[in-house]
Structures are given as C-alpha cells and as structure tokens.
Structure 1
Amino acid sequence: MAIKNTGTHISLAIEMLTSVCSADCGPGFRKFRKEGMASCCFHCKPCPENEISNETNVDFCVQCPEDQYASTEQNRCIHKAVVFLSYEEPLGMALSLISLCFSALTTLVLGVIVKHHSTPIVKANNRTLTHILLISLIFCFLCPLLFIGHPNSAICILQQITFGVLFTVSVSTVLAKTITVVLAFKVTASRRMMKYFLVSQVSNYIIPICTLIQVIVCALCLGASPPSVDIDARSEHGHIIVVCNKGSVTAFYCVLGYLASLAFGSFTLAFFSRNLPAAFNEAKSITFSMLVFCSVWVTFIPVYHSTKGKVTVAVEIFCTLASSAGMLGCIFVPKCYTILFRPDQNSLEMIRVKSSSHAHIS
C-alpha cells in the first residue's frame, strides 16, 4: 500500500512539472521571460528582423552579416543578390540596343552628308561644324554603354568625364553653328573680309574654348569628390544595389548647369534668328533641338531624385539618348529629307528664289 502511494505522489509531481514548464522554443525563436516567472517558464518570441536562431531554447538571436539576410523562418542567413543594370536583363538589353541603333543611324546621316558635301544645303551650314556635331553625337549615343554592367571606380569616373565632355562638344558645336548663322547675315555684304574673319574665328575657337572650360570643371569636381562605387545593402530586402555614386552632388550639377547655359545660349540666339532667310538658316531647327535638350534635362532632375538603384541609371541613360536624339532629329532629319527626297530644292536656283522672296517680304 505504501509503495502504491509513493508511486501516486511521483506521478502527481511529474504532471505538475509538465503543466508549469513551457514548451521548447524552436529555431527562429528566442526565450523571453517576464519578471516573477519560474526559471522553467518562458515565452517564445520570434527573432527580430534580420536576426536568426538555429538551435532550440536560445536566449539571444544572431544578427546576419550585411551581405546576407534572414530566411522567412529566421533559422538561417541567405546571401543577398547583387543588383545592377546588366546587359543580360531585358531593360539593359533594350537600352544598349537603342544606343547602338541610334549610333548607327547617326553614322548613316554622316555618310549622307559627306557624300553630298558639295551641295548647297550642306555648304551653306558650315560643313566642318556639321561633321564635328555628327561625330560627337555618335559618341553621345554610345555613352550609355558605360552605364550598363557591373560598375567599378574607373568606370564611375569615366562615366562623368565622358558624359560632360561629349555633350559639351555637341552643344558648343550647335552654339558655334548658331553664331555662324547670325554673323553671316548680320554683317553686311560690304564687309566681306570682316564677315569671313568673324565666321571662321567662331568655328575655330568656340568649341575648344567651351570644351576646355568643361574639362576644368570636371577636373575640379574629380579633385573635390571623385565618383565611386556605392554599395547599398539596406534599401531593398534581399538585394545589394551596386551603382556609381556621383561624388559631390554640387559638382555634378555644375557639369549639368554648364551644359544648360550653353544650350540656353544657343536656344536664345537661334530663337531671335529664326526669321533669317530659310534657304541658309538652321535657326529654327536649332531652336527646337535646344528646346528638346533643355526640357529633357529639366525633367531629369526630379525623376533622378525620386528613383533608386538601377532605375536611376536607366533614367540617366534615357535622358542621354533622348537629348541626343533631339539634336539629331531636329537638325538633320529636315536636311537629309531635302537631300534624298527633294533634290530640286537643294540647288543654287532654289536658294536664290527663296532668298529673293524673303528679301521682298522683308
């Protein structure tokens, strides 16, 4: 009878222990005790964000390294995927294809201009400046290829220098063409030597001077705060975003601001010269091209600041292509159309008729 009673007491004791003690906390959880609770009593609490536990009944969770993130069950760390705008993905492939197609189209336009270099429409608008502008546009269209692919420090620096210098050459060439048109018509015929001197000096010096200023601006920017690779492991869960950091934001806007001042100068001169004789005049085409250029980059600023990661890179590439296409389309499409499809208008007789008609109206 005594043995039986002892067995009953042991059984009751085991039941009591089972009822007051908590169940085990599995992987992904940690033990959490409240004040006054027995040592065998605790709550199971999920690990905090990006922390894991892979054992039972642990008191503390472990933080995942920066290049890893916690699994959904929070019991292991997983390596983050490195994200950048690559040639393999559809967006990168589409942008690189557009870049190459526009570059090839510009090369084709250059071929048409060179082939018909002795025709009045080509000769009237300064052949040298036309060739420089088209060659610089070819490289402007190829410039986005530097922005696609895994960036490194050298590529980041090259992106900013190439972008700044190539677009300065293009826009300063447009400015030189505009000033050439203005001088050619504002200086009277009795001052032919002065006209020749002014027009030739503009085309010889305005492009290197403007480009040199931009090179100095870029050099100062690189000296103050050079672009570098920016690794962002926190903005997107499970991803490491690799992009080029522009360095000093002020320096980047100095490069853009200088381009904007050249474009605005070209736009203003072209706008006030748009009513000069149409047979020789590129002013209307230049006005529209600079309007497109300025509109694209003014729109770029708020969009650039409201996006992150590879979308930001894609926006920058799109603006580069759109502004280059604006110059190519507005300035050279009408010219090529006349050369290829309206050769009757590309003659000295037609130019004399248009010039005399304009003089009569004036």
Structure 2
Amino acid sequence: MTPQVSVGIVGAGVIVQTIHLPVLLATPNVRVAWIVDASEALAGNVAKAFGIPFAPMATIASCLERCDVALIGIPNAPRGPYFEMAAEKGVAIVAEKPFAINLRDHQKFQRLFSPNRIACGYQRRMFSTSRFLRDAVSSGCFGPLRRIVTSDGGRTTRTGNSSKYHDLPPNRGGGILLNLGCHALDLAVFVTQTNAHSVDHKRVEFDDGVDREVSARISLSALSAQLQGLYELDLTISWLTEQRNTIELHFDKTILKASTAPSAMVSVHCAQTSRLLGMLDTSANGGAVTVNQAVFQVWSEFLAGLESGAPSPLAASNSETTAAIMDDVLGFAT
C-alpha cells in the first residue's frame, strides 16, 4: 500500500483555493498538513473553509519538519528562502509557475533538489491536446513541422483575481510574460521538445516598467537522438488587446489548431487555404480536458516520481529552456 504523503502549503491565494486544495483533498493517500500565508487572516479563513490546519508564517521552519512536500503558491520574489529551507529539511517541492524570476535563480534553486523532488506547475503539459500535438511533431505523421503560432491574453486576462505583483516590473516577478506568457511559451517548448533557441525579433510594450504586451519571433531547435528539428515560433501575449488564445502547428499541407485552455479537440485545416477540414478528439490519449484534471495529473505524476525516483514531466529541470527564452525576450542578464 502506498504510504500517505503530507503536503504543506505556502500561500493561500486564488489558485491554491480554487485548484490545488480541491485536488489535494480529493487525492488518495495525501493529507494537507498545514497552510501558511503572509496574511494570517487569509490563511486562517482558507484553513477553516477547507477543514485543514492553519499555521502562523513565523512557524514555517517547524512546519516544514512536519510534511513530505511543500506547495509553493506565492509570487516569485519571496520564494528563495522557502526553497532553501525545504532543501535543508529534505522536503520536496511543487512550485506554481513560473519557477523563478530568471534562469539564474531557476538553476540555483532547482539544483538544491534531486530532479524527481522539484517540480514546476506548467499544467498545460498535461492537456490531452498538448500530448497529441507533441506526438504529431515527434511522429512526423503530418510531415515536418515548419512553424508554431501561439497567442494568449486579452484585455482582462489575469491569473485569478487582479494581484499587486502583476504590476511589478519583471525583475521583481511581475508583468505579462512571467505571469501568463510563460504558459504559452512553455507549451511550445514542450510540444517541440526544444533544447536550444535564438530570439530573432522581439517587441515588448512596457507601461511604467511593466511588460503589458510581448511579441517575438523565436527559432526553436530540437536536437536529440529521438528528434531533430528547427522551427519558427511566433509568440504574442497581451493584456492590451484581445487574442485568439490558440496554439497552431503549421506543417507543409496541414495546420493543427488547439485552444490554450483545456480541451479534447484539435481542428485540422488546409495549409494552403486555411479551410477547416475537420475536428480530432484527443481524449483517448488520457490527457486532461479540464484544469482540475491537469492539476490532478501534475500531482499524480510528481508523487509517483517521489516513490520511483524518476523525474516527472513537470520537473523543474525540464523547463530551463522556457526560463532561458524568457530571459532573452525580457533582456535579463543571467
């Protein structure tokens, strides 16, 4: 019988309340050991609502001694001490995306842990459409991939409710690329199995030091024994204008389109005319078709990796390329 895993939670925000807590409380052999937040009133209210133990933030060191895994659901800037404290106490980590503000911190923190004991919640990797698109590229059944076009955002898009840290400059963890665009970018990296890149063109619209809209053309390279390819990515992320919120894979004769939201459906179009040829149901591959299913799979894969020693698809080491591209687009020096 699989032993029970105790999970502590750092952060009591919207994503924790609406997604992680319901999933964890419904996951077999998982016990939520405690929740802390900088706002103790918020943490106390969430703890009461879900029937879980509340702990003051000042007790975090002793709390970590009473759990196997910590969920880090707070903004990027204050995460460092929690990663370091968890590593010292032998506690594994699941961190909400993005893992860190820049590649330097990403590498620094992930290397405190074994690869199977540190994960970043890029949940779109779990979608059934994402699995299908990745298989379409690696199998070559639609021919060679030439181009990826993806967009995300809209005038009111935010992660949950509006939050103060979104309006911080990117070097403090704010802005659209770190808080929304990282998902779209990581999905393109995942689908193509990219391990090298170059940013050929970029345009970043700043407002008071905060990136509100990003467009970029990026060359992605997949160079491995299993897959070799060079692809062009057109990326558009915006809080200023409406977007299609899709990912498109352009092959010589076919275009595959999927929503950036969870779904089972991929549309197939003629590359020459863009005419819709039909719809493919991808649900048979076992991927997620709702956000809660995706997060359940994130946790299931991670917990299985803790037991087996194998890194999950969400291992922080698997999203280094995503972090490196964001650095280059934003002009961070690492």
Which TM-score band (shorter chain)? under 0.3
Taking structure 1 as the reference length, the TM-score comes to: 0.24
Higher helix share: 1
Computing the radius of gyration from Cα coordinates, the structure with the larger value is 1
Taking structure 2 as the reference length, the TM-score comes to: 0.26
Q: Does 1 or 2 have the higher relative contact order (CA < 8 Å, sep 6+)?
A: 2
